[in-house]
Amino acid sequence: MNKLRKQALLSILLVIAVVLPCFAGAAGTAVSNASFSVASKNAILVESATDTVIYQKNINDRIAPGELTKLMTAIIAVEYGMLDDIVTISETAAGGSNASGTVANLKVGEQLSVRQLLYCMILDNNDVAAVAIAEHIGGTEEDFARSMTEKAAFIGAQNTNFTNATGQHNAEQYSTVWDMYIIADYFMQSKLLMEIASTKSYTLPPSEWRAKKTKFYTNDHLISTYKTSGYYYRYADGLIGGQSNTSGSVVAAAASRGRGSMSLIFIGAGTSGDGSKYSLPAMRDAGNVFREAYSKYKIKTIVKKGEIMTEERLWDSLEKDYISLVSKDDVSTVIPQSKNEEEITVKLFPNERIMAPISAGDTLGTFEVYDNDVLIVTGTLTSEETIRANIILKLGYWISTFFSFIAVRIILIVILVLAVFYVFVLARNIKRNERRKEKKRANAARSGKRPPAGQPQGQKPPARRPPARMPRNTAAPPGRAKTSGGRTQGAPAPRAHNKTVKTTSPKTKAQKPAGAGKPKKNAAPTVNKKKNAPKRAPKKRTQTKGRAPNKKS
């Protein structure tokens, strides 16, 4: 499994190594048909303010970076080191080939600050200073070189690998002219590093390791005539240059001609001189290219910052129906001095639907600048004002947008289908229950069990209510005539009781037992009790004067 992973990783790295060089030089826009007399095998000229590639030659070929390596060493030293830290020169740093060919002549045990070592490294191309910085920050030169490679990849130099901090030849240390431009451009963003790189000379003070002060001059002959005047260019800003047997002549140079003019960076490499001490073809190329570029080309501001580019329809706004789109920044490019500016055109690409609310500075589109149908630069369209939204219109748009999604439509269709299916199942169950009831009624009719007349079929007969209890007092209510039998007309006849209690008036004698004659006129009628009512014990009457007690018959 680990073997398969390693093979897959190697395949991916191989694809990256093959594909990335195809896109490496695409960041800048090249000026068409630019021609310069350049002896270097690999070279590039870039206007850094507009990121316009004016000239390029084999910018993706692998080269030995040589002295250009010290640009990345200086970047790591400034970003990860303390400039006032004191560094002691080790035997490893001062030994071998590192100690040869420099004026500073740093010795083992000598102590200098990181700042002093940077001057020695950049101006004097001192390898001892480079190794001392690497050991102080990285522990070892090898670990420091790995940090250099990682930093280079982080800023965009993907085709670069460092194995040392000095630039001495190593088969595994390589780069490209395009990558060295990226590193040099990053180097120039540090004011401290540019201050050091533009210095013409520097003096080390006397110390216990040196009897008197030591002064040395820069090896960038574009900014100094102390060693030779054949490469001097008055508008050069300095960087670094040099040569070796393996890398040949290399240079990283910058130039600017005042405010608003071109800021050029030239990287040249790959050509050896004639063997003399100051034969630097790449440095000579830099001076010649700078002169020719400033005489032939100029910066043209196509669009100014805040310039109104177009007016577009504005939706869901509470205040206005149209909005003005302006350029976010100044948009400039490098064009030939003799260029007809009417050939430069601008194409606008505003957002398809611009909707409120909008804040000032919001990106609302882009535009492209063309020179004879060749894209040379792009820009951004923004809003210059803040505009509020109409909440009602906005809500309507959100609702319509919500239902315009395919997923929402699919969900609604599924819900509708389920609802229809539910109604269908419910209707079928109702019909099924009706059929069952019809079948039961039909079976009941065939068996002879018909419901009573007047009762709907399939309906149960009403529950029979128990008879109401008769009142104890059966005397006829007032207003009703009594019949001859003592019953009220229209009232039901009282039921016969097994025992009858008779009462007599005080003037009447005791009656014979029951069954002898008709009851008297004033006798109380017999009380009919319910059939199932509990029997009550007869009340005992108190014997009063002149009235005989009742006797049971």
In a domain, 330, yes or no: yes
Same domain? For 290 and 371 the reply is no
**pLDDT over 60 (residue 204):** yes
The pLDDT of residue 226: 86
Residue with tokens 């951004």: 380
Rounded to the nearest integer, the mean pLDDT of the chain is 79
Q: Stretch 252-278: mean pLDDT, rounded?
A: 78
Higher-pLDDT residue of 363 and 394 is: 363
* Neighbouring C-alpha atoms within 13 Å toward the C-beta of 94: 14
Question: 227 near 278, Cβ under 8 Å?
Answer: yes
Range name among 9-18, 245-254, 292-301, 330-339 with the lowest pLDDT average: 9-18
We report the CATH number of the domain holding residue 316 as: 2.60.410.10
Same domain? For 233 and 315 the reply is no
- How many domains is the chain partitioned into structurally? 2
Q: Stretch 214-225: mean pLDDT, rounded?
A: 92
**pLDDT over 50 (residue 75):** yes
Same domain? For 95 and 147 the reply is yes
359 torsion bin: left (phi>0), alpha (psi -120 to 50), beta (else): beta
The pLDDT of residue 446: 81
Q: Stretch 446-475: mean pLDDT, rounded?
A: 58
* Strands (E) located in 280-353: 297-303, 308-315, 322-327, 331-336, 344-350
Distance (Å, whole) CA 394 – CA 383: 19
In a domain, 144, yes or no: yes
Same domain? For 216 and 113 the reply is yes
Same domain? For 266 and 378 the reply is no
Picking from 246, 268, 298, the residue at the C-terminal end of a domain is 298
Picking from 373, 389, 405, the residue at the C-terminal end of a domain is 389
In a domain, 517, yes or no: no
In a domain, 414, yes or no: no
Distance (Å, whole) CA 176 – CA 510: 152
**pLDDT over 80 (residue 28):** no
Same domain? For 190 and 290 the reply is yes
Same domain? For 29 and 90 the reply is yes
In a domain, 424, yes or no: no
Residues 288-312 have pLDDT tens digits of 999 999 999 988 889 999 999 999 9
The pLDDT of residue 237: 92
Same domain? For 182 and 130 the reply is yes
Give the pLDDT band (50/70/90) at residue 261: confident
Question: 476 near 482, Cβ under 8 Å?
Answer: yes
Q: Which residue range forms the structural domain that includes residue 205?
A: 22-298
In a domain, 471, yes or no: no
Distance (Å, whole) CA 184 – CA 286: 14
Beta strands 374-383 and 363-371 are antiparallel
**pLDDT over 90 (residue 199):** yes
Same domain? For 278 and 331 the reply is no
We report the CATH number of the domain holding residue 136 as: 3.40.710.10
Higher-pLDDT residue of 133 and 487 is: 133
Same domain? For 308 and 271 the reply is no
**What residue type is 512 in one-letter code?**
K
For residue 248, what are the β-bridge partners? 244
Same domain? For 187 and 57 the reply is yes
Residues 141-196 have pLDDT tens digits of 999 999 999 999 999 999 999 999 999 989 999 999 999 999 999 999 999 999 99
Same domain? For 255 and 181 the reply is yes
**pLDDT over 70 (residue 519):** no
Beta strands 42-47 and 331-336 are unpaired
247 torsion bin: left (phi>0), alpha (psi -120 to 50), beta (else): alpha
In a domain, 142, yes or no: yes
Distance (Å, whole) CA 168 – CA 66: 6
Picking from 389, 408, 443, the residue at the C-terminal end of a domain is 389
In a domain, 495, yes or no: no
Distance (Å, whole) CA 126 – CA 123: 8
Higher-pLDDT residue of 438 and 451 is: 438
**pLDDT over 80 (residue 510):** no
Give the pLDDT band (50/70/90) at residue 339: confident
